Structure 1
Amino acid sequence: MYNLRLLRNILPIAGHAHPRWLASQHKRRPQPGSLPPDRLEQLRSDLFERREELSGAEWTEVRQSLVDGYKHINGHNVDAVILGVCSAPNQLALAKNYVEFLRSRGSKPNAATLGRLLRVYNAAYHERPLSEAEQSEILQICRSLQAEHETLDASSCENVIHGLVATSGDDWQRGVPLLEMMKVTSTPSVAAYSALTEKAFHVASPEQELAWLLLEEMATARKPPKCEVYLALLNRLANETAQLPAQLSRLLQFLERHEILVSQRVAIRLQELSSQVPQLLHTRTTHLGALGKCQSCQQHLQPVAISDEEFRQLSECFLERVLIRRDVFQRSTPEEVARFKKFVEKTAPYDCVIDGLNVAYSTGTKKTPQQMAKLVATVVRHFREQDKRVLVLGREHMRNWSKQAMHYVHSNASLFLTSNLSHDDPFLLYATLRSGQETDFFSRDLMRSHAFHLGTELKPIFRRWQQEHQFSLVTQTQTGQIIVKEPVRHRLCAHQVAGTWHVPYCAQYTPHPTDSFEVPANWLCIQLKEQTTPATKTKTKTTR
């Protein structure tokens, strides 16, 4: 038997919790498996990673010590917590040993506990092939969970999906209805989407369209696919090179359409694939020089500008979908919107529209009204010195700011002040669009909600227009000079130039990528080549 004194050193004695364990009990309740890491990590490293099984006495000690040591661990969730700690791919035997311990003492593992066990099976599946016995165990757990509950909660659905995709055969397809079941109460998670999409790319060709459908669905829901999804497709193409040009082209078009940056892991796999089939794919790492010039192929990246027709569609739809939405009128009034539109008709066009309050708060919210007014005046001066025609949008309370600075603003720009409760962004964007395609705007706001409300067709057009026309304040120096961030005029997502794809990538995957218009540091320069068939070669020789 393992020395129980080691357990007592790792875990607090029952009824006498370690002070550090209780230091943050006033905070929100942690989720099982993501509890304070200091003691749980010690439990993992000093005990769980050394063993494939524990005795009943040892499991009893671990279980009771956790319940007594944490206020947020109780008899209902302690089992899931323990399986969350022993969740590594090589700890499947230990996790199963714990579930067997529960059953041996007459306890029936609950859904959360069995769900955790399915996640451990999935972790092992990604490290090695699972045996037929292990796959049978997975299917038995999945059947029992679904038999007990006609409708599973979102978390249980996700756990069952992770279990099903770890099996061979067609059982994984039972996860697709579970994805739909999740939509009843929430949007399916990135993990659930990615697990099914990865599996669909792994299996036979008929399921490829399902994979693409899921990929498109998750990207539309603003849930970036995990690296494993792309790797599953690339690994499949490495073995089915006849499909490579068409399928890889489809992937690159998907990345372009949704402005997704892949991770370095995916970029490395693309380079490996290029080395494997140089006759079909040529991939090089590169970076951009001045004005978006690729240092590999020496081509300039595509300008980000939208067409006149795209601008017309954007302008016409903006009023209907953004400016007159209900939540705008909750913070404004139809009368104010009408007054603003009349003002714009009278004073437009402008060369630049400035969000005055956004500028004022750009260097901190603890500035005095006099300092904020001077900053707005400095930004106005920046554009007036370039002979730009300027509109400044602000709030009524700005009338109380420095008279001298606000007098300069009023004398050198058109000034429209909304009520103190109004949202400035819709007014800012309307005035900019109304002034024509050459007009810029000045704000640090990323305009996420406005892009979202324009819909899937207009959102990418809006984003490209925004990238080309948005200026923002970086900082103000001690001497009062301002440093302005100017727009990046070339595209920042995957796209094709003269038959060559340029694909940006980031260091590592993130489920919440930034919407800012920063130039990615790392790029791939990719040339796709059509596969030449023997028949084609013969025909070519005959022609000569």
Structure 2
Amino acid sequence: MNFLRKQQLYILLHKIYSSSELKGNQKLLSSTLPHENSKEPSKINGRAASIEQKRIITDFVSNKEIYDWEIVCNDVLAISKGYINQKNINGCILEACAHNKRLDLAKTFMKYIKKNEKINIGIELLFFRACYASRNQLTDEECKNIESRCDYLFKKYSNLLSGTVFEGLVIGLCCTSSWHKCFDYLKSFNNNKDITGNTYSVLIQKAFEEGEIDLGWNLINQSYNPNIEHSTEVFQSWFNLCKQNLNIEYWKILDFLKETEYVIREDLANLLKNNLKSLGCTVNDTKIIHQIGQCNVCKKILKPVEVTNNEFKQLNECFMKNVMIQNNIFKNSTPTELQTFEDFIKNSSPYDVVVDGLNVAYAYRGKLNNNSLITTVMKILIDKKLKVLLIGRAHLIQNLGRNLDYIKNNAHIFLTNDLSKDDPFVLYAAMYSGLGTKILTRDLMRGHKFLLGETVMKSIFQRWLQKHRLGLKIRPGNNVKVTEPLFYLQTTQVHDDGTWHVPYNEKKKPGVWSKPDSTPDKWMCIQTKINL
């Protein structure tokens, strides 16, 4: 019943009506229902009421062949304390029809709405979704009507379209044989940054369904963003195409994961396993022995992480331009503070280790043998005769306590003001210090990685951070250990004999602990028997 979740539906509909011009003459998912024969409002309320409302709709849409929409609506609205009300009940029912692929019910419900009110754009777009879910059941005439309505709505609201409204129109057109019109829409759409991931998913799936391989993969590459997750249906449509034509290079999807360094989610991993097995591959879940980077199944050693001097130089330059300058570090710091820091680094570098002080300090709030964690860690590094730079904000002094003088005498310390963001200072110091400098932080620096812009630079940054980021383990008995970086690539990779190793992250329930580092949750070993 995920399709009826309150938050998702409200977000969707808020986006549809984000323009004031659209808000003016339309009531989102409104329904003027007759009050005759309405039931006495139920006494249940809150979550229980909402669950009961959803149950009524779900049972009806899942099972009923004979229907009376007035009775259904009245039964749902009789439960007065649930989140479904007269303003959103139409949308909830259409979402249920789409989820259960009940095009027949969606069509009769639209007729019911028309008897009571004028159909607005929000309802029409939700109807398109129901049509798309059952697009193989549409008649030629129905497809022509959908195409005509999409063209009309796009012209009427072309200057007011939000990304979600645009998505709805693309979904409508992809029900028809004229789906290539979507690309004319794309050229005319003024807000390319607002194009949703699902818009691309629908187009990619349609391209593969129609056998247009190059178009589908061009769209995948064009829309790639680690924060956008394409639906499993997209990749299933690719495998369906591969099974229809065995000459197609099905491992192209593995090449994509390798090039983008994307760690997939568990549902997509399961889809890969099932389809690759059906195509003759041997697929097994595996574990990687961290100490040697060896696969438990095929016994191969994973590839090492490498960053060349030239790549590091490019990364350094890109970081200074895109993170330190364009990100306007002066919003929280000052030109004087930055100049002081640069002079400090020039005079005291290179270092063996740069420590992200506050990040480490907040990793554990308790005391370890009467010392804070940051003090314990600094003593460990100092005892190893390493040249250490500790960076943090001014209030880090409180965590150092009585050990401040000892650390000052045996390491370098730079403290920013309490308003400054210290992450850029940590990264700057490590990069300026050279390719041999390591960094101690639990932060994956995703925000700074994003600011680098180019995919190539993001890849270099990810490899540099993995190769140089020290780990931290706190064991029972207040035993603290600083661990060396994992030396093997933690992204999709292939060996010369066609054996692939693909990492993925398992789906976690809310509140379940997640690892604070970048190591994938699980791996699978894929033997394709195709030499590359």
- Which of 403, 406, 429 is the matching residue for 1:405? 403
Query: Does 1:110 pair with 2:111?
Result: no
The residue that corresponds to 1:119 in the other structure is 129
- Which of 204, 212, 219 is the matching residue for 1:214? 219
The residue that corresponds to 1:488 in the other structure is 486
The residue that corresponds to 2:301 in the other structure is 300
After TM superposition, list the pairs within 5 Å mapping 1:67-106 onto structure 2. 69=81, 73-75=85-87, 77-105=88-116
Distance in 1 of aligned mates of 2:450 and 2:253: 23
Alignment deviations for residues 90-123 of structure 1 (CA, whole Å, 9 cap, x no partner): 4222221111112234x22211112111112222
Distance 1:520 1:78, change over 3 A: closer
Give the 3-state SS of the residue equivalent to 2:434 in structure 1.
coil
Query: Does 1:465 pair with 2:464?
Result: yes
Give the 3-state SS of the residue equivalent to 1:87 in structure 2.
helix
Distance 1:228 1:355, change over 3 A: same
Distance in 1 of aligned mates of 2:107 and 2:508: 31
Distance in 1 of aligned mates of 2:139 and 2:408: 76
Distance 1:265 1:343, change over 3 A: closer
Q: Would the aligned equivalents of 2:263 and 2:520 in 1 still touch at CA under 8 Å?
A: no
Distance 1:333 1:136, change over 3 A: same
Give the 3-state SS of the residue equivalent to 2:415 in structure 1.
strand
After TM superposition, list the pairs within 5 Å mapping 1:7-22 onto structure 2. 13=39, 16=41, 18=43, 20-21=45-46
Alignment deviations for residues 482-534 of structure 1 (CA, whole Å, 9 cap, x no partner): 24454222111112233433222344699xx9994113423132335379xxx
After TM superposition, list the pairs within 5 Å mapping 1:328-339 onto structure 2. 328-339=329-340
Q: Would the aligned equivalents of 1:224 and 1:260 in 2 still touch at CA under 8 Å?
A: no
The residue that corresponds to 2:446 in the other structure is 448
- Which of 165, 173, 176 is the matching residue for 2:174? 165
When the two structures are aligned, how many residues end up with a matched partner? 489
Q: Would the aligned equivalents of 1:92 and 1:120 in 2 still touch at CA under 8 Å?
A: yes
Distance in 2 of aligned mates of 1:321 and 1:265: 35
Distance 1:486 1:162, change over 3 A: farther
Alignment deviations for residues 121-146 of structure 1 (CA, whole Å, 9 cap, x no partner): 22224xx6544455345435434533
Where do 4+ consecutive residues of structure 1 move more than 6 Å? 370-373
The residue that corresponds to 1:310 in the other structure is 311
Distance 1:379 1:264, change over 3 A: closer
The residue that corresponds to 1:58 in the other structure is 71
Alignment deviations for residues 300-322 of structure 1 (CA, whole Å, 9 cap, x no partner): 11111212221122123322222
Distance in 1 of aligned mates of 2:318 and 2:461: 11
Give the 3-state SS of the residue equivalent to 2:220 in structure 1.
helix
Q: Structure 1 unaligned runs (5+)?
A: 1-10, 24-35, 532-544
1:216 deviates by: 1.3
Distance 1:57 1:227, change over 3 A: closer
- Which of 190, 198, 205 is the matching residue for 1:191? 198
1:243 deviates by: 2.5
Distance in 2 of aligned mates of 1:530 and 1:129: 43
Distance in 1 of aligned mates of 2:463 and 2:381: 23
Distance in 1 of aligned mates of 2:331 and 2:370: 27
Distance 1:55 1:122, change over 3 A: same
Distance in 2 of aligned mates of 1:439 and 1:426: 16
After TM superposition, list the pairs within 5 Å mapping 1:363-378 onto structure 2. 363-364=364-365, 374-378=372-376
Distance in 1 of aligned mates of 2:226 and 2:293: 30
Distance 1:50 1:481, change over 3 A: same
Give the 3-state SS of the residue equivalent to 1:172 in structure 2.
coil
Distance 1:427 1:73, change over 3 A: same
Q: Would the aligned equivalents of 1:440 and 1:470 in 2 still touch at CA under 8 Å?
A: yes
Distance in 1 of aligned mates of 2:125 and 2:132: 11
Q: Would the aligned equivalents of 1:331 and 1:423 in 2 still touch at CA under 8 Å?
A: yes
Range that drifts further, 37-46 or 208-217: 37-46
Q: Would the aligned equivalents of 1:260 and 1:493 in 2 still touch at CA under 8 Å?
A: yes
- One-letter identity of the residue aligned with 1:417: L
- Which of 254, 257, 264 is the matching residue for 1:255? 257
The residue that corresponds to 2:29 in the other structure is none
Q: Would the aligned equivalents of 2:394 and 2:418 in 1 still touch at CA under 8 Å?
A: yes
Distance in 1 of aligned mates of 2:167 and 2:269: 28
Q: Structure 2 unaligned runs (5+)?
A: 1-36
The residue that corresponds to 1:356 in the other structure is 357
